[in-house]
Amino acid sequence: MNKISELFCSIKNNGNAGFVLLVMVLLLNGCTAGKDGALHKSADGLQVEGAADAQDASGASDTAPPEPLQKGFVLREKVDLGINARRDFNRAVDFLHNEEYDSAAALLENVIEDSPKVTAPYINLAMAYRKLDKPEKAEDLLKIALKLFPKHPVASNEYGLLLRAGGRFAEARDVYETTLQKYPEYLPARKNLGILCDLYLNDPASALAQYEKYHQIKPDDKQVKLWISEIRLRLGS
């Protein structure tokens, strides 16, 4: 039986910037992809689970933008990642979650050397370097990721945070706004654009607009709900 391995960038739309995960979907002859993106049991009895938040895995083109969902979405990206590189990538994600940034960075450097055309290791390594106070290295990595995958929402959101930390507020705003044109429901970018306008650009009206759009998708975020009330008081609305 022929097997084709595909990796997907998995992004949960929870309002917080998280590390990029890779979800491997194994496409098997005789299996069919359902509307939920999972591969279902075929006549030969095989069953392979796909990415739960994906669109139809069999129908999307390599360059077509993914459909954003309120609970998350999957960015389709065919990659060539070997077993060892995949193992190191997963270990690096664990290190990132545990805030062991030096260990994560060392592994991700190896993954990039092995698979230089995969975006996720560049993005996660940039996050590690930002935490290690190495903004120049982080920016170089994000530029590579955005060249490989223009307007990648996670790379763009991370780049916006990096630009904001460096006082490059106008550039950060442009990155967020450009990303949200293509991925309007990617909540981390929406929230961070609001924060940028509110605290750094003295533009409460724009901040309010971003927070309200965010709140429509994630009404249970009490912090953003409070920010909305505070800005409305300031604006007298």
Stretch 79-108: mean pLDDT:
90
Pairing of strands 32-33, 21-28: unpaired
pLDDT at 54: 26
C-alpha 193/C-alpha 174 separation (Å) is 9
Q: CA–CA separation, 178 vs 186, rounded Å?
A: 12
Mean pLDDT of the chain: 76
Report how far residue 67's alpha carbon sits from residue 231's, in angstroms, rounded to the nearest whole number: 31
pLDDT in tens, 132-179: 999 999 999 999 999 999 999 989 999 999 999 999 999 999 999 999
How many angstroms separate the CA atoms of 82 and 142, rounded?
Answer: 22
Q: What is the pLDDT of residues 36-56, one digit of tens each?
A: 332 222 232 222 222 222 222
Instruction: Copy the structure tokens of residue 180.
Output: 């949200």
3-state class (DSSP) for residue 75: strand
Interatomic CA distance for residues 219 and 69, integer angstroms: 15
Model pTM above 0.75: no
E-assigned strand segments in 72-198:
73-76
Contact 119, 145 (CB under 8 A): yes
Task: Determine the distance from the C-alpha atom of residue 95 to the mean position of all C-alpha atoms in its chain, rounded to a whole number.
Answer: 18
